[in-house]
Structure 1
């Protein structure tokens, strides 16, 4: 029987050069063990080769890209109060949530340039006093309602209404807003203001929700805790602790977002009372990221290997502000120059800041005003400082430790707030100044007494930090109109030419002109020495390595870090080139 089958198969092979698939089922009957083994190995190698070739072709002709999905949890020190653009300025946690949930007419991109957001485009008249915005159409609120110009008008008028008591009221008080049609609005300014676009980053409220809330009850409105916006993420839920305080918010990506949709599908923000507990949560994998951590604060961090470390810069600086009215000695520019030369700023950054800072020369910070490089001019030189004092007739007599001029002793009171870095820096500065023969009294005040100090200007030299707003405008800190409280010109600087430059810079919308005015203003400060500029803080942003594609640039506000997070991803996919 076998021979008959064998003959039949052989006959078939004679008639056809290649057997039919059905004939292969008889093949094992005519192979010995060695031939069967060879056939199996040959089949495996052939299959593997085909798979390998297909894989090679696939990977050579595709690229890995970010895919939507995944969950990121960030720890935040502090607690939320009102997730409402009208009030979020007073609370950094509220700012974070507002930035994720709400949108403004404009926003800053990763390069800090102003770009359109809810607005499609804008026009400004020659006098730069009328701004007309064309809005994007087909934008939906998170509850599905349509966004229109009515929402813009309602929000701005609410900000201006003193009954709402918004901290933004002063900024908008001289601006009139008018609806042209459903997708056009116009703003009229009493006078030109080159930084007006920065104001339009404010989040817009949904009129259909907030017009139903009595102003008297606005602080109690449910929409403060369950916000409805147009931003890239929308509210899903929150959790509370045992005493009823909100301890976490869960946000999900807005599937109907009008802009480029974020890759991360879910964001969870967890709140902690202080950095120690937040760092413990990071160590215990309860959170994936934590921002604004000092190097000193990281000393207790254990699981460093799973984290990426990013540097964060904000538009802020720390300086020594001279109050010449409280110490006549400080009116002498030679004294101020000697004080500047005596300070070892590199030592301050190393020992007081633990390298969490960069040296600066003025309040015009590199990278923020279109000026990429700082012009270094101030170098620690104790010998030159001593020579200036000697040439100015401040001498050491009879083995005295401190210099005198006639009967006047060279004495200065240095004041700072009760903050670790500031206290350490003030100690180094005191040591530097006493090394050149200046008697220094160091006064450390609590933050609770800060308002009294600023109101009375009761300091001679004040070590303090200042931070710009979204407009990146030094006017509030250096124009003579801000010398008296509640102004923030802490150095009492009243140079007319400087005033004119600041006024011209804030009026123009021309970036080149603005940069030129700021450069001229910077040169005046360097020449006049109304303050000694010390450092620009740097912060650490710690994020789990599972988060890919994150690029951290300079930030204008702490909440801007989420702008960088929108392009980050966890999941990937491959697409053909």
Structure 2
């Protein structure tokens, strides 16, 4: 035992050089050169100690000196860290980095995720928007820019469009995308056997392949909105050429779609009944456009909004689109969540039946319009809607310069001129006969009819015709709130207003068949091209047409035709301005607001635009290439 202790003591002494080792180390074996080196070291010592010599510094310092050195070292370290932080904050910026994934909650389930059929089902359209690419794509609601097209050229008569495809466009399976695929897709969409929802939009168009990269589109008439139609996703001919058109909706290629979009299908999950529960999509590294930062996105499907919202609150999903205003405010209390605003080419419109006995006079319709305060309507729609002043949703709002009191007085005067007088014994206006205007004098103009109508006292009797308005509204919370606002405003005019709340589907069927609703509130969603033909063309007043005001006017029809025949963007905008003016001069409707919805997302997801104007709901993915969850640093 004593031998072991002595060995340990010797080792300690050797490490710290407390005395000479009993055994001469090879380091100190005398050699002839050592004496010479020793003399030189003494005569010219080394100015900078070697690193291993610093371990003995503590023996040379007192306790006080050691504390000073420690404090100085700490100060130096902090100063170095502060300098590094200052350089980083002033010279480095945070930038998006590749990687990461998100989960999007979608209400409903996909049925036919194919560009030819997706327009009728939003979950299908969402998947198509991520997997497929079109010749063109929409940005900012109605602006169309090239996607698969490298360049395009119009003929002078605007009836011939030449498209040249990109050379780097490929499908997810690596096969190049050529003009054969474009011609196949467009001709299939036109073919009645395929039963595509795009058949009507492509009517009057032919597609001719001239070489692998060039397609010539011929139109039977000029149509400046044709580029919007060409946003249709392109199918791979080598996948679909052998599929019979009649069985195309049920083909296996629909379940695992192959396109040329920014994401490709990795896998999908079904439940025991065969319904698809989720799609997992990987980034398409062969994409011809902007390569997304996100590496993966999962589309998870829910049967109703309540379950989707619960999944969002619980952190099971990262995003949920088209959340109504009141619900968005409730979700906004969650500190993990943020929201962008989504706007569609949609308007909340009050349709005034021009064939109704009370509303047949344009003065009455004008009076009802003048008294509506759009700020009150916006507040009723949870403050996220935007006021509109015409039939085109994205047109700038034109505010009036008059005060609410002035507009109220003007509206009352119009009703009086139309023969609706305020009785002395009641608050509801009654119909009074308008006196015949006196014959015009050669030297004096006839007195105004309104003055004659109010020259005598008006007394309501049991047989008086009351100024009664029946306002029909679908059972949608926002629209019911709007109806309450209108009832309050119209009551100020002396109207007796009845609000009828009905099931949306039942009301839609009755409004487009019976066509006898006096006043109807509806959210009207236009096509991305914002064509007003389905809503205001005279021919849409019969059958199941959407002209719910029953307005038949040749001037309106001519103005609509002018918008469809415009050959330039400037010409289209000019034609739209004229159309809006003509429609509003007839007072067939009150254009209230452009509804908005929330796109609620986890705050870790960045790069989303705060306010998006969309052509259709799936357009919210148009800027997905800018979304990111990972970040990095780079020098400014």
User: What TM-score do the two structures reach when normalised by structure 2?
Assistant: 0.82
Partner of 2:199: 169
Q: 1:22 to 1:438 in 2, by over 3 A?
A: closer
What is aligned with 1:262?
A: 292
Tell me the secondary structure at the aligned position of residue 205 of structure 1.
coil
Q: Secondary structure, in 3 states, of the residue corresponding to 1:455? A: coil
Tell me which of 378, 386, 391 is aligned to 1:358. 386
Whole-Å separation in 2 of the counterparts to 1:46 and 1:349: 60
Structure 2 residue 41 is matched with structure 1 residue 12: yes
**1:545, 1:145 → 2: CA distance?**
38
Match of 2:622, SS?
Answer: helix
Aligned equivalent of 2:521: 463
SS in 2 for 1:145: coil
**Matches of 2:420 and 2:54 in 1, distance apart?**
110
Q: Does residue 1:278 correspond to 2:308, yes or no?
A: yes
Tell me if structure 1 keeps the 8 A contact 2:354–2:551.
no
609, 616, 620: which one pairs with 1:561? Answer: 620
C-alpha offsets along residues 447-466 of structure 1, whole Å, 9 cap, x if unaligned? 33223421342322221121
Comparing 253-262 and 37-46, the one that deviates more: 37-46
Distance in 2 between residues matched to 1:122 and 1:499, nearest whole Å: 31
**Any residues of structure 2 matched to 1:66-145 within 5 Å, and which?**
66-110=96-140, 112-145=142-175
Q: What is the DSSP-based 3-state SS (H/G/I as helix, E as strand, rest coil) of the residue aligned with 2:156? A: coil
- Measured in 2, the distance between the counterparts of 1:397 and 1:63 equals 72
Aligned to 1:502: 560
5 Å-filtered alignment, 1:112-511, equals 112-298=142-328, 301=331, 304-325=334-355, 327-351=356-380, 353-365=381-393, 368=394, 371-376=395-400, 380=404, 381-397=407-423, 399-400=425-426, 401-406=428-433, 408-449=465-506, 450-511=508-569
C-alpha distance in structure 1 between counterparts of 2:207 and 2:118, whole Å: 22
Give the superposition deviation at 1:255: 1.1
Partners in 1 of 2:58 and 2:486 — Cα distance?
96
After TM superposition, give the deviation of residue 199 of structure 1 in Å: 0.4
- Secondary structure, aligned partner of 2:594: strand
> Structure 2 CA distance, aligned partners of 1:413 and 1:562?
41
In structure 2, relative to structure 1, the CA distance for the partners of 1:246 and 1:32 (3 Å cut) is same
Report the Cα distance in structure 2 between the residues aligned to 1:237 and 1:451, rounded to whole angstroms.
40
Residue 303 of structure 1: how far off its partner (Å): 5.2
Once the two structures are TM-superposed, the CA of residue 129 in structure 1 deviates from its matched residue by: 0.6
1:524 aligns with 2:548: no
1:469–1:557 contact (8 Å) kept in structure 2: yes
Larger radius of gyration: 2
Q: Which moved more, 1:20-29 or 1:106-115?
A: 20-29
What do the CA deviations read for 1:350-394 (whole angstroms, capped 9, x no partner)? 23x2223222211123xx3xx544344787544432222223321
Output one character per residue of 1:103-161: Cα deviation in whole Å (capped at 9) or x when no partner. 10001234752111001010110111111100001322112222111111111111111
Q: Which runs of 5+ in 2 are unaligned?
A: 1-16, 21-27, 29-34, 434-463
| Alpha-carbon contact 1:402-1:434 (below 8 Å) kept | no
Cα distance change, pair 322–494 in 1 and its aligned pair in 2 (3 A): same
**Kept after mapping to 2: 8 A contact 1:75/1:272:** yes
1:47-73 CA-partner distances (Å, limit 9, x unpaired): 666666566556544332110111111
2:331–2:337 Cα contact (<8 Å) kept: no
Verify the 8 A CA contact 1:294 1:356 in the aligned structure 2: no
- TM-fit CA distance, 1:558: 1.5
CA distance in 1, matches of 2:331, 2:385: 20
Distance 2:474 2:571 in 1: 37
**Which structure 1 segments of 5+ residues have no match?**
none
The CA deviation at 1:566 is: 2.4
Counterpart CA distance in 1 for 2:619 and 2:133 is 13
Q: CA RMSD in A?
A: 2.9
Q: Distance in 2 between matches of 1:18 and 1:48?
A: 28
8 Å Cα contact 1:240/1:248 also seen in 2 = yes
| CA deviation after TM superposition for structure 1 residue 339, in Å | 1.6
Aligned residues: 570
- Deviation of the 1:340 alpha carbon: 1.5
Residues 361, 376 of structure 1: 8 Å contact kept: no
Q: Deviations over 1:412-439 (max 9, x none)?
A: 4332323222233224423433443334
Structure 1 stretch displaced more, 164-173 or 36-45: 36-45
| More divergent stretch after superposition (389-398 vs 530-539) | 389-398
| Worse-matched range after superposition: 228-237 or 514-523 | 514-523
C-alpha contact 1:128 1:192 (8 A) present in aligned 2: yes
Deviation sequence 1:284-316 (CA, Å, 0-9, x none): 111112121123224653852111122222111
Moved more, 354-363 or 492-501: 492-501
Q: CA deviation at 1:19?
A: 4.0
CA distance in 2, matches of 1:229, 1:543: 27
Q: For residues 597 and 97 of structure 2, what CA distance do their matches in structure 1 show?
A: 29
Q: 1:272 to 1:23 in 2, by over 3 A?
A: closer
TM-score, normalization: structure 1? 0.90
Deviates more, 1:398-407 or 1:311-320: 398-407
1:95 Cα offset (Å) = 1.1
Judge conservation of contact 1:341–1:379 (CA < 8 Å) in 2.
Answer: no
Asked whether the equivalents of residues 387 and 397 of structure 2 are also in contact (C-alpha less than 8 Å), the reply is: no
8 Å Cα contact 1:195/1:507 also seen in 2? no
Q: Is 1:84–1:94's contact at 8 Å kept on the other side of the alignment?
A: yes
Aligned to 1:63, what secondary structure does the other structure show? strand
Structure 1 residues 310 and 140 mapped into 2: Cα distance closer, same or farther (>3 Å)?
same
Contact persistence 1:280–1:301 (CA under 8 A): no
